[in-house]
Structure 1
Amino acid sequence: MSKHPVITIGRQCGSSGKIIGQKLAEELGIKCYDKELLALASKNSGLSEELFESHDEKPTSSFLYSLVMDTYSLGFTTSGYMDMPINHKLFLAQFETIKELAMKEPCIIVGRCADYALSDYPNLISVFISAKDEDKIKSLKELYQIDDAKAKDLMVKTDKQRSSYYNYYSNKKWGDVRSYDLCVDRSSVGVDGAVKVIKCFIEEKMSRLS
């Protein structure tokens, strides 16, 4: 079993989770995978990257969830079971890619139920980033050059999608403190402060595992 740490980051929309992940990766000298994961899953599965992007962290039906988890528990792969529904193929392709990355190298993976995919990985550090609504709205306004109303709408819709996706595919609840090793409020400590907090947590947890 690999002994290097793998950090997964769940995040509220506008909380700067991706930026925090990228800065943390720079500090640790490792890679951060966000949208890059979709390209890798596409390459590994042979499915188009556009399909992964259009279904990225989107919720599905409870019926499809049951189908996915029943098949996944039996160990079927996308390459060997190509008559599955497209959502199923995309889900399994991402999970397989996440597991392969974890075994190969220390890295940071943003979103996409990565903490659930790696629930059996002993050196997993799962993190959730949140922030106050006014700070998230401000960040989204600056990032997308939109007004308050559109920023709030984007924030609410995106978080609803992420929550539905996570809750369907995992046995945990998105954003619940019990679902993660560490929860960080970016509004309280800032982006750089969040990086420091997570880095210290990684060092402490890894020292206890060694």
Structure 2
Amino acid sequence: MKKTIITISREFGSGGHFIGEEVAKRMNIPYYDKDIIFQIAEKTGYSESFIQEQSEYAPSKNLFAYAFVGRDRTGSSLSDQVYVAQTQVIRDLAQKGSCVIIGRCADYILKDDPDAYHIFICGNESEKIARTQKLFDLSEKEARNMNQDMDKKRRLHYEYYTDRKWGDFKNHCMILNTSVLGLERCIQYIVELIEVAE
């Protein structure tokens, strides 16, 4: 079987995390999400909680915040150092063999890898809010705010480090709407995509 790397970018509350886990299980390949945080922490010496914040989310809801973060004499911020380490970790994981990688600009980092398939998972607002409410035991308003906040921070982080538009169809070989298709069908479509490609 040839090496297959699947990167999954997702809107908050769309079920992308679950889909990634299930695809990895069904294909019997490693799944990387939180493991990446641990490896970045090892490389940089920063705490895992700090890496968790810096590896996928903007420091605030405003792109200008990047201009005000502390930088060393080379002009590199802590966020930049985390991104460099994250890039290396993701490339190393892809080098090892087939896997599913969730978020963290992996679709951009591996954009030139011929073995990589880039998937974007989205959903309709009402379903995403309902899923977040259930997962985190929140009110509808709290869930809506959480979804918007997390997506905004993901988008800003992605666009700052990649110079590409987050969720742009041109950067993915498949975009799946879980509200229209359901989680199970999305999982099946990804697995079938890989089977056909092989």
TM-score of the aligned structures, taking structure 1 as reference length: 0.84
Question: Cα offset for 1:44?
Answer: 2.9
- Cα RMSD between the aligned structures? 2.1
Deviations 1:67-87 (A, max 9, x none): xxxxxxxxxxxxxx9994211
Question: Cα offset for 1:64?
Answer: 5.7
Report the Cα distance in structure 1 between the residues aligned to 2:74 and 2:7, rounded to whole angstroms: 28
**Percentage of identical aligned residues:** 30
Report whether the alignment pairs 1:24 with 2:2.
no
Letter in 1 for 2:169: V
**Over 4 Å off, 4+ runs:** 60-65
Report the Cα distance in structure 2 between the residues aligned to 1:8 and 1:52, rounded to whole angstroms: 20
Count of residue pairs the alignment pairs up: 189
Contact 1:64-1:88 at 8 Å conserved across structures:
no
The answer for unaligned runs of 5 or more in structure 1 is 66-80
Deviations 1:135-169 (A, max 9, x none): 10010000000010000001111111111111111
- Aligned match of 1:130: 122
- Aligned match of 1:199: 191
- Aligned match of 2:178: 186
Would the alpha carbon gap of residues 150 and 63 (structure 1) be closer, same or farther in structure 2, given more than 3 Å must change? closer
Deviations 1:38-70 (A, max 9, x none): 1111123333222202323122657969xxxxx
Report the Cα distance in structure 1 between the residues aligned to 2:186 and 2:27, rounded to whole angstroms: 14
- Secondary structure, aligned partner of 1:152: helix
Which sits farther off after the overlay, 172-181 or 83-92? 83-92
- Aligned match of 2:70: none
Contact 2:57-2:150 at 8 Å conserved across structures:
no
The answer for unaligned runs of 5 or more in structure 2 is 68-72
TM-score of the aligned structures, taking structure 2 as reference length: 0.88
- Secondary structure, aligned partner of 2:182: helix
- Aligned match of 2:4: 5
Report the Cα distance in structure 2 between the residues aligned to 1:119 and 1:93, rounded to whole angstroms: 17
Contact 1:9-1:129 at 8 Å conserved across structures:
yes
Q: 1:96-115 residue pairs with structure 2 within 5 A?
A: 96-115=88-107
